[in-house]
Amino acid sequence: MADVPQHGLATRLSHAGRAGTKAHGFVNPAVHRGSTVLYEDVAQRRAYLKRRFDQALTYGTQGSATHHALEDVVAEVEGGTRCQILCSGLAAVTTPLLGYLGAGDHLLMPDSVYGPTRLFCETMLKRMGVATSYYRAEATAEELAPLFGRQTRVLFLESPGSHTFEVQDVPALAALARSRGAAVLMDNTWGIHAFQPFAHGVDVSIQALTKYPGGHSDVLIGSATTREDAHWRRVRDAALQLGQYASPDDCWLTLRGLRTMAVRLDRQMASGLEVAAWFARQPEVARVLHPALPGAPGHALWQRDFSGACSLFGVAFQPDITVEATHCFVDALTLFGIGASWGGYESLALPTTGFVQRSAGEMAFAGPIVRFHIGLEDPADLIADLKQAALVVGWSGVPSAAHEGRHAPSDPSV
């Protein structure tokens, strides 16, 4: 897949998945829409149907050249052998899970997993007879080992975790899973450009391409990329049996978004860190949950395993700050939208207190939490907006002497 592995991400994003002169010389692949595939004659159709499912296109649900171009680019970015495009990030989580699990099987999920993934485990997988155990996202391999049983088929990872951004020791946990014969599935959406899943022992890497690859908050799409083709066949099989199909127009939009993703992420990472550092200096803030910020939780693992960061992070406020005050703060912002999803060009703020569930231990934060996504606006304007909103709520909006230069709170147990 990686025909030019020595090139940097931006170069690969510019060149992968292009048809060259085969698309009438146009730079971009065409949008192929279609359900029926026609044959020259009956014999040709019969010959096609006899081929392995991954070697013959016999119906639209198997995808078109547009899907395959996107699959090539995503496989290239993630460093996997093959990729399956799915209709949303959530479908990219649930489809591989259905491909690996059946009645009587056991699944290990991090406690900080994306909420709808947890819901899927608690509803559909439970009805199918699949048991899910939740483990502390920061668990070491020693802590996780006793949770594996004879029926444990999948270890799921999501690093950093949703909303609270715990960084997982992926190589250690993946090695443990492999020694117990379990497949390792990871939601790698946060680290799309910065974490190489297959170099760290992952078998299936899941992306909500809706986020930075789409990049413009106008498309829902997902992918599952695999370390080797045996895993791809399992995922592909599940996708075909479920009738999973992403619109070719959405594939095309995502391909278009991917071409500029490296540049956007460079800028958004820098702006995100600038805003995160501003929050870390505010006396009302207990902890900034941004793994790339020195002193933040998970920073050492991030430094070891990641080559960069995106622009999504959390802010845990002090215990004496009320949830209502954080709502007023968010309401007073003028440059931040209030809404879910992330990875677009626009900044977002989302109070998440009450939406974050834990079953493997206590929530680590006594005060309210707000999630921020930093877009492509000028960071100085965003910080000015945050300052004016802080003044509206009666917070100082300026760093206190005690917190100047601080990136993390003095109490490491918070």
Ligand X SMILES: Cc1ncc(COP(=O)(O)O)c(C=O)c1O
Q: Which residues contact ligand X by CB under 6 A?
A: 88-90, 93, 114, 162, 187, 189, 208, 210, 220, 222, 341
CB of 114 to ligand X, least distance (A): 4
Nearest residue to ligand X, using CB? 89
Side chain identity at residue 19, one-letter code: A
Degrees (nearest 5) of the Cα angle 319, 324, 325? 70
State how beta strands 204-207 and 183-187 pair: parallel
Residue 6 Cβ vs ligand X, minimum distance, rounded to whole Å: 30
Residues in the chain: 414
Question: Using an 8 Å Cβ cutoff, are 225 and 176 in contact?
Answer: no
Nearer to ligand X (CB atom), residue 65 or residue 220: 220
Q: Closest distance between ligand X and the C-beta of residue 88, in Å? A: 4
Least separation in angstroms between residue 94's CB and ligand X is 10
Q: What is the DSSP letter of 408?
A: S
Task: Give the integer Cα–Cα distance in Å for 203 and 197.
Answer: 8
Cβ proximity to ligand X, 139 vs 312, nearer residue = 312
User: Other C-beta atoms within 10 Å of 258: how many?
Assistant: 25
Q: For the CB of residue 311, give the shortest distance to ligand X in the complex, in Å.
A: 13
Nearer to ligand X, 189 or 282 (CB): 189
* Complex with ligand X: residue 173 or 219, whichever CB lies closer: 219
Least distance CB 220 / ligand X (angstroms): 5
State the DSSP string of 15-73: HTT--GGGGTT-SSPP----SB---SSHHHHHHHHHS-TTT---BGGG--HHHHHHHHH
Residues 6+ apart with CB under 8 A from 225: 74, 75, 78, 80, 82, 83, 84, 197, 204, 205, 207
- Cβ neighbours of residue 378 under 8 Å, at least 6 residues apart? none
Give the residue with the Cβ less far from ligand X, 210 or 352.
210
Q: In this complex, which beta carbon is closest to ligand X, that of residue 157 or of residue 176?
A: 157
* ω into 283 cis (within 30 of 0): no
State the Cα–Cα distance between residues 45 and 271, nearest whole angstrom: 54
Shortest Å, Cβ 93 to ligand X:
6
Closer residue to ligand X in complex, CB, 166/187: 187
Rounded to the nearest 5 degrees, what angle is found at the Cα of 153, between the Cα atoms of 148 and 154? 85
Provide, rounded to whole angstroms, the least separation between the CB of residue 126 and ligand X.
20
- Phi and psi at 408, nearest 5°, equal -145, 155
Residue 184 vs 390, nearer CB to ligand X:
184
Nearest approach, Cβ of residue 89 and ligand X (Å): 2
Query: Of the two residues 215 and 397, which places its CB atom closer to ligand X in the complex?
Result: 215
Closest CA to 269 of 277, 259, 281, 257: 277
